Structure 1
């Protein structure tokens, strides 16, 4: 699926939800400055053309400043700045975007223009082998779930 198709698919599903409005370039630039990496182009487009977070799985991914919050987490830059992993096992440039609960997080790789996805659970970090676009479509349609994520790391169990 192309980036244009991902944007249109998420725009269509976003119409059925109450989401924050799209954000402007200043909020995106501010997040990138805090994170120290340029956001993957697809994520930039989604934040500026669809909504400032809230799309994707269940209650939606985190936005940038002023966007969709998830639980006690208000935006990706704030969460990144606070440090997701005090042990230092999460490399710089991997940004937490979705909390599945049970200490399971999905992260997008800002070092990769395609936005490769990673999963973190209790200090264990592993690549998902998919891009942000594939992750968003899979989570939005229900074909990618927390169980699917954990299947790639069989030692991890969580009651959801």
Structure 2
């Protein structure tokens, strides 16, 4: 039985003319969780496996996993995350936080992220256009003031999630 979030997302997606990727299979989810070394959040896992493996939602759409819908650089959630975890010496010694996964691409290198290390699944925004020269990418992370389930419901109900008041 579908819960109200899945129903709301499917309605908004199809009524809005969006065509999500085929839902992710259990094998794809398991493969990606193995690559990441930790599980996807329960809500993210359900969205990817019940609504679609990316290709719908706000901005330039939700990203998928394992050959699902990519961002503009061709990266899926796990590929983007793993590339960020391997930052080089030009990144001012900063290491991408464990469990902070991109799931929505806004363009210009900006992403909404879900912190899967926290049970309530808080959402942050990564905007690499924010720091000045020689500043850490840590200064590029802002709270969107939402938890993942609420963020998805807000989009399904027509809220503009791009123009949020962001906070440090």
TM range, normalised to the smaller chain? 0.7 to 0.9
Q: CA deviation at 1:73?
A: 3.1
The equivalent residue for 1:38 is 39
Q: CA deviation at 1:85?
A: 7.8
Q: Summarize deviations over 1:14-71 as a string: whole Å, max 9, x none.
A: 3332221111111111111222221111111111111111232133210011211221
Q: Secondary structure at the match of 1:80?
A: helix
Q: CA deviation at 1:89?
A: 4.9
* Deviation larger for 10-19 or 103-112: 10-19
Q: Gapped runs of 5+ residues in structure 2?
A: 129-136
Decide whether aligned partners of structure 1 residues 9 and 140 sit closer, same or farther in structure 2, where only a CA change above 3 A counts: closer
Q: Gapped runs of 5+ residues in structure 1?
A: 155-160
Per the normalisation by structure 1, the TM-score is 0.81
Per the normalisation by structure 2, the TM-score is 0.77
> Which entry has the higher C-alpha Rg, 1 or 2?
2
The equivalent residue for 1:22 is 23
Q: Summarize deviations over 1:83-103 as a string: whole Å, max 9, x none.
A: 168343531100111221233
Q: CA deviation at 1:140?
A: 4.0
CA distance in 2, matches of 1:49, 1:128: 25
Q: Report the RMSD for the aligned CA atoms in angstroms.
A: 2.3
Q: Secondary structure at the match of 1:48?
A: helix
Q: Does 1:72 align with 2:73?
A: yes
For residue 147 of structure 2, the aligned residue among 90, 108, 131 is 131
